[in-house]
Amino acid sequence: MIGILIISHSAAIARGVKELAEQMVHGRVPIAAAGGTHDGQLGTSIDLISSALDELHDAEAVLTLVDMGSAVMSAEMALELSGRNFLITGAPLVEGALVAAVEAMRPDATLEQVAAVAVRALEGKGLAHAPPGVVAPGEGEPVVPPPAAASTAEVTLTVTNKVGLHMRPAKEFVQTAMRFPCTLRVRNLDRPERPDGNAKSMIDVMKIGVSSGQRIQIQASGDESTAAIEALTRLVINNFGEH
């Protein structure tokens, strides 16, 4: 299990990012935060970071996100003293924490894969951010046409929930897609300038920029293609559980 550690010079910022990330994973990924100093001032504290690490006792490895470079030294000292397997990433604090938390829900996710996804977080805003050498499953892979004999299925749907495929609906979409072994691609038909994306990637799904009223095309190839399309169709038709 991968744990997420959020470090900020501000206690309020650290708590806020932790709250946002926890809303995405509902307790399925351990998340802790450390911000400010013991006397409530702006800064970082090795002791507070160590205390936050204690909250991640179930995590086998820890991905750490920081707000500014000066937090790295405190983070390194506390993490090294803990004896944990860890990585400190230069990913954006807010966006990185959110997508990392979702990626960490994968049962086979590695620390390096979760870190790679976090670094790509700004791509959801249309901003390029080069990933490190290790990429998560399906991230950046070339699209290979399925063999002629492969099972395939396809559907075109109109997204009608209020916010479109933004953070929470995108998470539901990705988690549903990850339940199936087939390859799943999704395209925004109303924004043809956006490339199709891996339906099992939060970043790819958010990059296609689907707003309410826009049409998406989902293509599946491989085992359980029909079941995957049916499940994603139900999710979209039911407005991702929104009321």
Query: Which residues are marked as active site?
Result: 9
Contact between residue 115 and residue 91 where contact means Cβ atoms under 8 Å apart: yes
**β-strand 197-198 against 183-188: which pairing, if any?**
antiparallel
214: CB partners within 8 A, 6+ apart = 158, 159, 164, 188, 189, 190, 191
**Would you say the C-alpha torsion 103, 106, 111, 112 has a positive or negative sign?**
negative
Sorted by sequence, the CB contacts under 8 Å of residue 185 that are 6+ apart come out as 143, 196, 197, 198, 199, 218, 219, 220
**Is residue 138 within 8 Å of residue 60, measured between CB atoms?**
no
